[in-house]
Amino acid sequence: MTRIAVLGCGRIGAMHAANIAAHPRASLAGVYDIYRPAAEAVAAKTGTRLFDSAEAVLACPDVDAVLIATATDTHADLLEAAVAAGKPILCEKPIDLSLARVNQCAARIAGRGVPIQLGFVRRFDPGHRAVQQAVRAGDVGVLHQVVITSRDPGLAPEGYLRVSGGIFRDMTIHDFDMARFVLGEEVTTVFASGARLVAPDLMADLGDFDTVTVVLTTASGKQAVITNSRRATYGYDQRVEAFGDKGMAISENRRPHGMTLHGAAFTERAEPLLNFFIERYREGFDAEIDAFVTAVESGIAPEVGFEDGRQALILAEAALRSATEGRVVQTAEVA
Amino acid sequence: MTRIAVLGCGRIGAMHAANIAAHPRASLAGVYDIYRPAAEAVAAKTGTRLFDSAEAVLACPDVDAVLIATATDTHADLLEAAVAAGKPILCEKPIDLSLARVNQCAARIAGRGVPIQLGFVRRFDPGHRAVQQAVRAGDVGVLHQVVITSRDPGLAPEGYLRVSGGIFRDMTIHDFDMARFVLGEEVTTVFASGARLVAPDLMADLGDFDTVTVVLTTASGKQAVITNSRRATYGYDQRVEAFGDKGMAISENRRPHGMTLHGAAFTERAEPLLNFFIERYREGFDAEIDAFVTAVESGIAPEVGFEDGRQALILAEAALRSATEGRVVQTAEVA
Amino acid sequence: MTRIAVLGCGRIGAMHAANIAAHPRASLAGVYDIYRPAAEAVAAKTGTRLFDSAEAVLACPDVDAVLIATATDTHADLLEAAVAAGKPILCEKPIDLSLARVNQCAARIAGRGVPIQLGFVRRFDPGHRAVQQAVRAGDVGVLHQVVITSRDPGLAPEGYLRVSGGIFRDMTIHDFDMARFVLGEEVTTVFASGARLVAPDLMADLGDFDTVTVVLTTASGKQAVITNSRRATYGYDQRVEAFGDKGMAISENRRPHGMTLHGAAFTERAEPLLNFFIERYREGFDAEIDAFVTAVESGIAPEVGFEDGRQALILAEAALRSATEGRVVQTAEVA
Amino acid sequence: MTRIAVLGCGRIGAMHAANIAAHPRASLAGVYDIYRPAAEAVAAKTGTRLFDSAEAVLACPDVDAVLIATATDTHADLLEAAVAAGKPILCEKPIDLSLARVNQCAARIAGRGVPIQLGFVRRFDPGHRAVQQAVRAGDVGVLHQVVITSRDPGLAPEGYLRVSGGIFRDMTIHDFDMARFVLGEEVTTVFASGARLVAPDLMADLGDFDTVTVVLTTASGKQAVITNSRRATYGYDQRVEAFGDKGMAISENRRPHGMTLHGAAFTERAEPLLNFFIERYREGFDAEIDAFVTAVESGIAPEVGFEDGRQALILAEAALRSATEGRVVQTAEVA
């Protein structure tokens, strides 16, 4: 059994704690949250140990690995501390909102050989993953275009948005990682268009966008398009399309069930889409934990690691610069 | 060019006349209708010849073949006359509402070798036909079950229903033919359940049903289910499913276009189904004429002939008896 | 917390035990299996108590309710014992293969007021349930026809089939319950056609069928059709269609993910269907436990109870008689 | 009857001639082609008059209107001549490959009041049109994003590509018009990325691209994305998505029929998409002629006119400049 402690018991940390407890080859080794009642609630439900500090978790010999689901601005510090303690880490994205801090972190952990997995859960979604595997298997031939649609079901609270780092670092970052995952090749140019259509006043106040379209290109000429909105009335719109010289693979949206209604004015009317990430990526979150447990057990590096987190942040930086300056940005300018 | 005259210029006859005129290897050789203005309208639109009688059509040396789309009770007489005149015939279904009259007709035309094609247009629908071809090609393996859904978009006018011969002879007859087409084997037992749910009073008055379910079985154990209703609010519901030991083929419904709408309360909301047979089976009616022209040109017997019309009527008789008497009927009892 | 013990730790009992343990308002109070290692495995995984006998479970004051997932031939005895002990029961279907035994059991437990829920899990499937709720809400208007497709992904082992009670009591029984659930009205006549197409020799030896079609009718004229096969290569085919005078609701099949592939020879190619019931009805099994916990907590009778189990068995008996005797059977003959 | 003559009897001109002949309120007034046998073939099939020159057509008093389907480099001259002759015009796109020539043409025909309809047939596709109408009707709320996928089933012959004016003027031009149609607002910035992935050597030789992604933005912040490829193995991929603050409308792809196949390795396997534009936009071509006939009859300006052709060309120019120079281009730079 791999004994995993969870740092941060907010909504996503609590979910991870439950998933770890349910995993056949993992156990929940304890929880910690700066806001103690959050950790207490998880401990009460799972019967796991309550830690008084992150340091105590990292010092505990009964903890084999840690999952970092704390506030974003603590990720890099905790990553460094966990690496120093030799504990394998599953860290929620992003590593940090600052590329400089991420690069510093990279330097500090270099060569330590501690497994680090980044929480890009969409790589583990069965449908998206099947698209990537179809590409790798040659089912679509040589890849030409990737089209990613990613729209949240509703605008996050203002308090969240203020500290989110902006749409590119907070939301599109998942799509940047997905684009890299499917493309299988690094991005060389980024064009991003940002608009304020969902909440114009708030976005203007934040200097942020709520509606963006991004085009990425690679050295070999592949193109990836990302379409984002902070609010889709019909649910959490999550689609990935890979088009190549032999065909196309699409990961379609998912609904809570398969009932369709047919009447005098319509046919095939289905439910709104699954809402929100905990529901939509339920299988993905399970598979993510499973991949982490397997990586810890086997000693083989996690398939999505620190450098993937850094690369996605580079694309976010480039996109922000592109949308702000109204020009195409080379990733080499940013990295 | 195969010169085809059309007898009967009602809605379906007028449509056939236009299709013949548009066919690259056929020409419309003339039209006749007992109600002269109907024939005049078609002649005006197409520039074709107007005949004064069916006899005149059959006697005309410039007519290579005839399409019979007159009232049902004239079909058998015209068939016999056309056979006597040596003109190949495409006859709308049914041959006659009386099996005895059909058998008599069969005896009279026996051995004359004049090509007769029955108007079971659904055999020529690209989707339904693809199901049948998947079965013949072995794509579903050995066939086990056939499931046919056939629901009209709205109740026909009372006047029509009164002379229709009842739902089994008028509506289900198409499904009986489709079942035979897909099964590739004769039916040995028939069970039919009939209900009066759409227009109970009218149906009771007519001694007819508006909602029926029929189960057919063959000597080798194959099963076919037919589900009929005289009124589906969402359009003309036409589906065929073939299930076998290697898989399944389904001919799905068709809509006028592919627009779907997604909103706060629903996703994938599509248009009502194509309504009615002239729209739904547009490609089928074209292919039916093409098959007839090809049969006349080649001298090869039409793939759906007089005997298919007779067999479908036998199943209709058996179904009526089953629904009326509440018991399973052997087709041998009827034939 | 409702403390539930599980009797029988085979595949389905073990699954129920895990679901109970994960339920927020229930706890797993212990397990028992006549084959002790099966119970030990569940106890080891969940940390729950291991009982030495069913009697010990029923006598234990720390057990609030029991789930019966033992061999079918023990269900009725355990039901009676649990009722005598005053423990609410969630009992896997069927109650017994013998209608006489079920009637005897009914007499013995009559008036005791102990909540009994039958394990017809499909009622709790979100899609099927949405169909039933659309019917109840009037979204399809007055119901006319129900079409249920239910095909297993593969033939069960011979050992299982020998003691299954035959396809109608073992497999179709779920569809009989679904038909009753959607119809909202008792069935008066049953017609069943049975064939031996999947495993002819074995079925002949067992006196059983592997391919059946059943038509049920109600006093008001509603019709329900059930199509079963013991083997569908493309997965676990589970569809429910309700057709009424205002429209239609369909619960469509489910696949593990939403990836579709498009190439030179095809489009929209998707994965095989979810296989098998534990995967397909995962949400249903969760909701079933939740409904049981809620019933025990609230004292309100479970929505699917003993009498539903008895009625489904009556339909199975009638269907078997119909298929065997080749005639329509009135349920009144059997009940 | 509106008497329409067709100039140019290549594949598309011949199709238009047949559609005009079949239109209930139009008649085919004659045909002309510089390659006489092409015109003769159409005349033979339809029985229409054969003209010796475009001048003769325009001078003929029995011609009410003309359809221009000649080689692209003759469009502007014929447009000017037809306007001078006072004949309403349905002109295939593009007006000319040179924006300067189009502007000159615009100046020459200004103020003449002769109805001109541009052949942007996709506006008349029932599905795409339903998307635009859903937007206009407010069904998707305030429009935020438009996503257009347009991929040809196969690379056009080299000879065609050499004179096509390049992918933006030849292929994307349809999507530029569709974007304008759905956006309902003029485009202010254009970003285009062009790649050579389908036929790298040929494209390099031509200075053209075969794979492009374009992002258009409007003054109000709306975004439109166009994804093009010169070759999709699975057929003619034509999709339009409109996303707004109340929901989304999608015009999905169309297949020749609705048969799907299900087997051990897959489900829902459907046919390749309709291939090519004459099949896919069959209803659109009919509706386009109908709109033209209605415009000529009513004197109301066609809904898609000369200026729409000019604006689409402006976008093509801007896209070409963007893809070539690797920068965002303001449409004001080009227009």
Coil, strand, or helix at residue A96? Answer: coil
Q: Is D259 on the interface with B (CB under 8 A)?
A: yes
Residues of B in contact with A235 (CB under 8 A): 267
Distance between CA atoms of residues D95 and D86, nearest Å: 18
Residue of D234, D253, D266 with shortest CB distance to C264: D234
Q: How confident is the model at residue D47 (pLDDT cuts 50, 70, 90)?
A: confident
Arithmetic mean of pLDDT, C317-331: 97
Arithmetic mean of pLDDT, A269-279: 94
Residue of B45, B251, B261 with shortest CB distance to D258: B251
Asked if the structure places residue D53 within a domain, the reply is: yes
Strand partners, A50: A31
Distance between CA atoms of residues B249 and D20, nearest Å: 39
From the candidates C135, C149, C246, C260, which should be mutated to test the interface with A, based on the most A CB atoms within 10 A? C260
CA atoms within 13 A on the CB side of A260: 15
pLDDT of residue B332: 96
Q: Is A42 on the interface with C (CB under 8 A)?
A: no
Q: Is B262 on the interface with A (CB under 8 A)?
A: yes
Query: Could you give the angle at the alpha carbon of B13 between the alpha carbons of B11 and B18, nearest 5°?
Result: 100
Q: Say yes or no for a CB contact (<8 Å) between C127 and A247.
A: no
| Signed CA dihedral, B98, B100, B103, B108: sign only | negative
Residue of B131, B259, B271 with shortest CB distance to D259: B131
Are residue D138 and residue D240 in the same domain, yes or no?
Answer: yes
pLDDT of residue A270: 97
pLDDT of residue B46: 81
Over D181-201, what HEC string results? HHHCCCEEEEEEEEECCCCHH
User: Dihedral angle at the C-alpha atoms of D170, D171, D174, D179, nearest 10 degrees?
Assistant: -120
pLDDT for D226-277, tens place per residue? 999 999 999 999 999 999 999 999 999 999 999 999 999 999 999 999 999 9
Q: Say yes or no for a CB contact (<8 Å) between C229 and B211.
A: no
DSSP code at position C307: H
| Signed CA dihedral, A26, A27, A29, A31: sign only | positive
Residue of B212, B234, B328 with shortest CB distance to C326: B328
* Structural contact between residues A131 and A182, judged by C-beta atoms closer than 8 angstroms: yes
Are residue C232 and residue C196 in the same domain, yes or no?
Answer: yes
Are residue B161 and residue B107 in the same domain, yes or no?
Answer: no
Q: How confident is the model at residue A320 (pLDDT cuts 50, 70, 90)?
A: very high
Which chain B residue has the Cα nearest residue D251? B259
H-only helix segments in C27-125: 36-46, 54-59, 72-85, 99-109
User: What tokens does C16 get?
Assistant: 């129920």
Q: Say yes or no for a CB contact (<8 Å) between B234 and A273.
A: no
Residue of B233, B263, B270 with shortest CB distance to A268: B270
Are residue C207 and residue C315 in the same domain, yes or no?
Answer: yes
Q: Is A250 on the interface with B (CB under 8 A)?
A: no
pLDDT for A150-207, tens place per residue? 999 999 999 999 999 999 999 999 999 999 999 999 999 999 999 999 999 999 999 9
* Structural contact between residues A257 and A274, judged by C-beta atoms closer than 8 angstroms: no
Q: Between C36-46 and C11-22, two packed helices, what is the crossing angle to 10 degrees?
A: 20
Residue of D234, D253, D264 with shortest CB distance to C263: D234
Are residue D82 and residue D188 in the same domain, yes or no?
Answer: no
pLDDT of residue B120: 98
Residues of C in contact with D253 (CB under 8 A): 267
Mean of the per-residue pLDDT values for chain A?
97
CA distance B214 to chain D (A): 23
pLDDT for A299-308, tens place per residue? 999 999 999 9
Domain stops at, among D114, D143, D166: D114
- Locus of tokens 């010999």: A61
Residue of C217, C248, C328 with shortest CB distance to B327: C328
pLDDT for A99-121, tens place per residue? 999 999 999 999 999 999 999 99
Q: Is C287 on the interface with A (CB under 8 A)?
A: no
Q: How confident is the model at residue C146 (pLDDT cuts 50, 70, 90)?
A: very high
DSSP string, C236-266: -EEEEEEEESSEEEEE----S--EEEEETTE
Q: How confident is the model at residue D61 (pLDDT cuts 50, 70, 90)?
A: very high
**Neighbouring residues of C250: CB distance < 8 A, sequence distance ≥ 6:** A259, A260, A262, C131, C239, C240, C241, C242
User: What tokens does D20 get?
Assistant: 């005009």
Classify the phi-psi angles of A294: left when phi > 0, otherwise alpha if psi is within -120 to 50, otherwise beta. Answer: alpha
Over B66-116, what HEC string results? EEECCCHHHHHHHHHHHHHHCCCEEECCCCCCCHHHHHHHHHHHCCCCCCE
Asked if the structure places residue B136 within a domain, the reply is: yes
CA distance A259 to chain B (A): 11
Residue of B221, B246, B327 with shortest CB distance to C196: B221
Q: Say yes or no for a CB contact (<8 Å) between C268 and D270.
A: yes
Are residue D251 and residue D107 in the same domain, yes or no?
Answer: no
User: What φ, ψ does residue D240 adopt, rounded to 5°?
Assistant: -135, 125
Chains A–D, number of C-beta pairs less than 8 Å apart: 111
Q: How confident is the model at residue D154 (pLDDT cuts 50, 70, 90)?
A: very high
Which chain A residue has the Cα nearest residue C261? A249
Asked if the structure places residue C35 within a domain, the reply is: yes
- Burial tier of A35 (Cβ tally within 10 Å: 0-12, 13-18, 19+): exposed
From the candidates A155, A167, A187, A215, which should be mutated to test the interface with D, based on the most D CB atoms within 10 A? A215
Distance between CA atoms of residues B177 and B200, nearest Å: 27
Residue of B196, B212, B328 with shortest CB distance to C327: B328
Domain stops at, among A114, A138, A167: A114
Q: Say yes or no for a CB contact (<8 Å) between C215 and B232.
A: no
Are residue D139 and residue D207 in the same domain, yes or no?
Answer: yes
Q: Is the pLDDT of residue D53 over 90?
A: yes
Distance between CA atoms of residues C168 and C314, nearest Å: 10
Which chain C residue has the Cα nearest residue B249? C234
Are residue D95 and residue D204 in the same domain, yes or no?
Answer: no
Q: Say yes or no for a CB contact (<8 Å) between D211 and A145.
A: yes
Find the CATH number of the domain harbouring C275.
Answer: 3.30.360.10
Share of chain A above pLDDT 90, in %: 97
Q: Is the pLDDT of residue D176 over 90?
A: yes
Are residue A59 and residue A200 in the same domain, yes or no?
Answer: no
Least confident of A271-280, C42-51, C208-217, D154-163: C42-51
Asked if the structure places residue C38 within a domain, the reply is: yes
Give pLDDT < 50 ranges for chain B: none
Asked if the structure places residue D7 within a domain, the reply is: yes
Asked if the structure places residue D89 within a domain, the reply is: yes
Residues of B in contact with D253 (CB under 8 A): 258
From the candidates C236, C261, C269, which should be mutated to test the interface with D, based on the most D CB atoms within 10 A? C269
Count of structural domains, chain B: 2
Q: Where are the beta strands (DSSP E) in A196-330?
A: 211-218, 223-229, 237-244, 247-251, 259-263, 266-270, 329-330
CA distance B247 to chain C (A): 6
pLDDT for C1-30, tens place per residue? 899 999 999 999 999 999 998 898 999 999
User: What tokens does A47 get?
Assistant: 């019967």
pLDDT of residue B300: 92
Q: Say yes or no for a CB contact (<8 Å) between C245 and B198.
A: yes
Distance between CA atoms of residues C91 and A173, nearest Å: 49
- Locus of tokens 């069959």: D282
From the candidates A259, A261, A274, A283, which should be mutated to test the interface with C, based on the most C CB atoms within 10 A? A259
H-only helix segments in chain B: 11-22, 36-46, 54-59, 72-85, 99-109, 126-136, 158-162, 167, 173-183, 200-206, 277-280, 282-298, 306-325, 331-334
**Other C-beta atoms lying within 10 Å of the C-beta of residue A239:** 18
Cα distances (Å, whole numbers) of residue B87 to B25, B59, B91, B304, C182: 17, 9, 12, 17, 54
Q: Say yes or no for a CB contact (<8 Å) between A127 and C22.
A: no
Domain stops at, among A79, A114, A149: A114
Q: Say yes or no for a CB contact (<8 Å) between D270 and C273.
A: no
Find the CATH number of the domain harbouring C32.
Answer: 3.40.50.720
* Structural contact between residues C2 and C89, judged by C-beta atoms closer than 8 angstroms: no
Asked if the structure places residue C289 within a domain, the reply is: no
pLDDT of residue B22: 85
From the candidates C259, C261, C266, C280, which should be mutated to test the interface with D, based on the most D CB atoms within 10 A? C266
Which chain B residue has the Cα nearest residue C330? B326
Q: Say yes or no for a CB contact (<8 Å) between B198 and C144.
A: yes
pLDDT of residue C24: 86
Share of chain B above pLDDT 70, in %: 100
Which chain A residue has the Cα nearest residue C244? A263
Are residue B162 and residue B273 in the same domain, yes or no?
Answer: yes
Q: Is A218 on the interface with B (CB under 8 A)?
A: no
CA atoms within 13 A on the CB side of A156: 21
* Structural contact between residues D44 and D80, judged by C-beta atoms closer than 8 angstroms: no
Coil, strand, or helix at residue A44? Answer: helix
From the candidates A268, A271, A273, A274, which should be mutated to test the interface with B, based on the most B CB atoms within 10 A? A268
CA distance C140 to chain D (A): 24
* Structural contact between residues A82 and A58, judged by C-beta atoms closer than 8 angstroms: yes
Q: Say yes or no for a CB contact (<8 Å) between C144 and B221.
A: no
User: Which structural domain range is residue D185 located in?
Assistant: 125-283+311-334
Asked if the structure places residue B108 within a domain, the reply is: yes
Q: Is C270 on the interface with D (CB under 8 A)?
A: yes
Distance between CA atoms of residues B84 and B79, nearest Å: 8
Q: Say yes or no for a CB contact (<8 Å) between D189 and A247.
A: no
Residues of C in contact with B141 (CB under 8 A): 233
pLDDT of residue C335: 83
Are residue A106 and residue A214 in the same domain, yes or no?
Answer: no
Residues of D in contact with A141 (CB under 8 A): 233
Q: Say yes or no for a CB contact (<8 Å) between A248 and D232.
A: yes
Residue type, C199: A
Arithmetic mean of pLDDT, A48-77: 97
Q: Is the pLDDT of residue A335 over 90?
A: no
Are residue B89 and residue B128 in the same domain, yes or no?
Answer: no
Mean of the per-residue pLDDT values for chain C?
97
